[in-house]
Amino acid sequence: MSELKKGDKISLAIGGHITIIKELGRGGQGIVYLVDVNSQQMALKWYLTPPDDAFYQNLQHNVQQGAPSDAFLWPKYLTKKEKGSYGYVMDLRPSNYYEFGNYLLAKKSFKSFSAMLAAAMKICDGFMMLHRFGYSYQDLNDGNFFIEPTTGDVLICDNDNVMPQGEKSGIMGKARYMAPEVVAGGIPDKYSDRYSLSVILFMLFFANHPLEGAKVVACPCLTESFEKKFYGSEAVFIYDEKDKSNLPVRGVHQNVIRRWPIFPQLLKDTFREQFSQETLKNKNNRLIEQGWQKIIATIRDSLVICPICGEETFVDLTQSEYTCMNPNCAGKFKPAAILKLGLRDIPILPKSSLYIDNDNIPDAKVVRSQDDQNLLLIQNLSASPWIAETPSGKIKTVEANGFMPVKVGIKVSFGSGNKAEIIQ
Ligand SMILES: [Zn+2]
């Protein structure tokens, strides 16, 4: 047991020291303190019982490598071993980011579906970068994510268990987020991370657990042996196509019962696939992060502003006429045109934000022309110019913040190199 107090000075491995200001919070593993680092306020995670040398060396390695992406509240400095323990220093979490658990309990909610999709995209991107750096997260769960409700920006915390692929931190992760093969005793790796990612995404969208339905509710007491069944050997998705034994229970799993019908079929099909018996049992079948990003991009394409009620609505991109999903509206409307971008069909409607890539920053916005209310324009919100080609072959540059008309037959090359065409 090693606690620190206000004014204590702790040496950093790279030299210099930090000063304890106050305690910010504590968990099973350690205490987080507000600290002063060269007049800058940062956070120190201090272990109550110091983990072994291998853990210390791994942390040192991660500090040297730096964060895989800005989604991570990554260890920035490691302390020396002092006062019977050690810890690491990271940036402070901004106060407008809330723990994912708060969203699951409806203490916090996303301001929009757009923010929810941005959060999903950012989480996938973070894990893609993490795996690209050769790490596996190992201990993925709802306590690791902090989300800004308006933008959907995400910070992933507790990165001290991040290990190179194939190495075991000794942390098994929380049962509800562990892949079935890890529940059965296997070593966490990028495949098990991908399972945990599907669970996190499912919970982000539906605010219930994908494997917690009637079977779990019927269980008198969730002992370890029951946990091993429900999350491991006998796991059944609550909306499994063939096995209806674990359906969500009214009054218990209200969130998913209410939200499941709202989301596009593609998302539901993807979860059905990811939690099918075949995929639960075969880790190679799991969708990689880029696969998820494509799905989320398509779902985001189908999120538009209903021209009748002005609210966000998902539309069925396979139909030529859309129906607003808001029950008080249920209005029918058609897109002005479609922006064909590779395999994606992005409906063009007034007030739509268009996302060409996956960075959560809208690349374009659809607005009405001030001169002609019947003419829609696409505004270039990106920093680089686009090149547009009219149906008659004229080439025009659409500068940053500039506009191009929504006219069928116009082809456009975005700064990123992506090419699209406006079709009916
Ligand atoms: Zn509507």
CA of 305 to the centre of ligand 1 (A): 8
The DSSP code sequence of 181-243 is HHHTTPPP-HHHHHHHHHHHHHHHHHSS-TT-SHHHHT-SS--HHHHHIIIIIT---TT-SS-
Q: Which residues share a beta bridge with 403?
A: 379
Q: Mind listing the pLDDT tens digit for each residue in 312-360?
A: 999 999 999 999 999 999 999 999 999 999 999 999 999 999 999 999 9
Q: Mind listing the pLDDT tens digit for each residue in 279-319?
A: 999 999 999 999 999 999 999 999 999 999 999 999 999 99
pTM > 0.95: yes or no: no
CA of 302 to the centre of ligand 1 (A): 14
Q: Give the pLDDT confidence score for residue 348 in this predicted structure.
A: 96
Q: Mind listing the pLDDT tens digit for each residue in 358-385?
A: 999 999 999 999 999 889 999 999 999 9
CA of 308 to the centre of ligand 1 (A): 5
Q: How many helices (H) and strands (E) does the chain have?
A: 11, 25
Give 179's DSSP letter.
Answer: -
CA of 394 to the centre of ligand 1 (A): 38
CA of 104 to the centre of ligand 1 (A): 26
Q: Give the pLDDT confidence score for residue 225 in this predicted structure.
A: 83
CA of 355 to the centre of ligand 1 (A): 22
CA of 307 to the centre of ligand 1 (A): 7
Query: Alpha-carbon distance 265 to 296, whole Å?
Result: 12
- C-alpha 53 chain-centroid distance: 32
What percent of the chain lies above the pLDDT cut of 70?
97
CA of 113 to the centre of ligand 1 (A): 14
Residue type for position 64: Q
Using H for helix, E for strand and C for coil, what is the string for 41-68?
EEEEEEECCCCCHHHHHHHHHHHHHCCC
CA of 339 to the centre of ligand 1 (A): 22
* In the predicted structure, residue 232 carries a pLDDT above the cut 60: yes
Report phi then psi at 120, rounded to 5.
Answer: -60, -45
- C-alpha 250 chain-centroid distance: 27
Q: Give the pLDDT confidence score for residue 1 in this predicted structure.
A: 59
Comparing C-alpha atoms, which of 358, 356, 350, 361 is closest to residue 414?
A: 356
Q: Which domains does the chain have, with CATH numbers?
A: 9-90 (3.30.200.20), 98-293 (1.10.510.10), 302-333 (no CATH), 335-424 (2.60.200.20)
* CB-based contacts of 276, cutoff 8 Å, min separation 6: 237, 240, 241
Query: Alpha-carbon distance 229 to 379, whole Å?
Result: 53
CA of 372 to the centre of ligand 1 (A): 24
CA of 311 to the centre of ligand 1 (A): 6
Using H for helix, E for strand and C for coil, what is the string for 288-334?
CHHHHHHHHHHHHHCEEECCCCCCEEECCCCCCCEECCCCCCCCEEC
Q: Give the pLDDT confidence score for residue 170 in this predicted structure.
A: 54
